[in-house]
Structure 1
Amino acid sequence: MKLFPLKKYLKITDFKKDYFYYLFDTLEKLNDNKLKKISDLILKTIISKKKIFICGNGGSASLANHMLCDFAKTLKQNTKLVPQIISFANNLELITAISNDISYDQVFSYQAENLCEKNDLIIFFSSSGNSKNLINLIKLAKKKKCKTISFVGFDGGYLKKKCDLSLHFPIDNYGISEDCNQIMMHLILQFLKQSRINQKKLKKSIF
């Protein structure tokens, strides 16, 4: 696993050079076979009209909500794909109620108990892969026979080991880890969208 930064930088241009190096180096080592399987599973879930749930903490929560926005709006445009997509990080009132009255460790699993069904898909965004509320959710997902995908950094943690499919970016840096996860979200979204648009509409479509 790569560590960055390992020294102090006095010029932002020098920092940028190394930041980009570690970002691109991490992305280039992506497991293409797993990427294909993840893309295929997301498409299969949408076509079969099963639900997709997304979650994450902190910056990864914003990635979950960003994915909700892009897949619910952009993927549907000029395609016949109608994703049923829900972010467990999107309801502040419910999240704070569960945190305050029950436990923050259950903010995702408590929601999933009411909503998730067999063959639904749960997508996890995480840098460490070890957040307690994500671990509780994946345990519930197994009981409910939901499919699971994780996008993780650092050493991958619990999620890398327990999810059905996992894309692991071995970089010990939150910013680069989250950059990789967001790039994967956009990459899969745009790939699926362009694959379902006829050639005439493709040329007029904005991605």
Structure 2
Amino acid sequence: MSDRTRYDEVVLDTMLYSARLIESVARQNSAVIVAMARMIAGTFEEGGKVLLCGNGGSAADAQHLATELTIRYRSSVERPALPAIALTTDSSALTAGANDLGYDAVFARLVEAYGREGDILLGLSTSGNSRSVVNALDYANMNGLKTLALLGGDGGVLKGMADLEVIVPHSGSADRVQESHIAIGHVIIDLVERLLGYCRS
């Protein structure tokens, strides 16, 4: 087998598995994903905001989705900025929190700073076991925030902690879970824009 054929198979196997996984998650969780979008749209209508947190690649996904809410998702949809804050972007806050409080407390501390009753915290964790996300959701639940979770594997410690959750049933690596998470995030934003009346197509 030539290198080209072998590498072509890697491409096909990887991308087709990811596509099948995303399809399976969509079929099993479409009602929950719609409910997440409705919760977010309703929170925006009530003047609330969305906070997002995660570690590593999930931190990047949190920032990605927050930016698409605050700036825009698609250029074809004209709308106001929607208030979303990724708790992963302030290096001074993260490093001070890690140094002074311990890293496990950093997101909870930022939820304390920015979150208000009726706001939403969306936590992302490919394992479901990120202690910093666990603590943030715990704080949010105890202080009147609504909570959402995008998880992987069997859901880990975070399973059942959020008001609504989607678990991507893939274990052993974060990559395929992250691909599903960003697809879920994108469709949620699409639905939010439709629910708020900005996108009618």
Q: Would you say same fold, with TM above 0.5?
A: yes
* Deviation for aligned residue 1:82: 4.1
Q: Is the 8 A contact 2:34 2:188 kept in 1?
A: no
Q: Any conservation in 2 of the 1:54–1:64 contact (CA below 8 Å)?
A: yes
Unaligned 5+ segments in structure 1 are 1-9, 203-207
Aligned to 1:111: 110
TM-score normalised to structure 1 length:
0.85
Residue 179 of structure 2 is aligned to residue 184 of structure 1: no
Query: Which residue of the partner structure matches residue 42 of structure 1?
Result: 40
| Runs of 5+ unmatched residues, structure 2 | none
RMSD value, Cα: 1.9
Alignment-derived partner of residue 70 in structure 2: 72
- Normalising by structure 2, we get a TM-score of 0.87
Give, in angstroms, the shift of residue 160 of structure 1: 2.4
In the alignment, the residues of structure 1 paired with residue 43 and residue 126 of structure 2 have an alpha-carbon distance, to the nearest angstrom, of: 25
**Kept in 1: contact 2:40–2:192 (CA 8 A):** no
Query: How many aligned positions are there?
Result: 190
C-alpha distance 181-63 of structure 1, shift in aligned 2 (>3 A): same
Moved >2 Å (runs of 4+): 190-199
- Is 1:54 the counterpart of 2:52? The answer is yes
CA deviation vs aligned residue, 1:128-171 (integer Å, no higher than 9, x gap): 01111111111111110211111111111122221110011101
For residue 51 of structure 2, give the secondary structure of its aligned residue in structure 1: strand
Deviation at 1:190, TM superposition (A): 2.5
Return the match for 1:14 from 9, 12, 19: 9
Aligned-partner residue type, residue 145 of structure 1? G
Identical columns (%):
25
Matched-pair contact (CA < 8 Å) for 1:75–1:192: no
Amino acid at match of 2:9: D
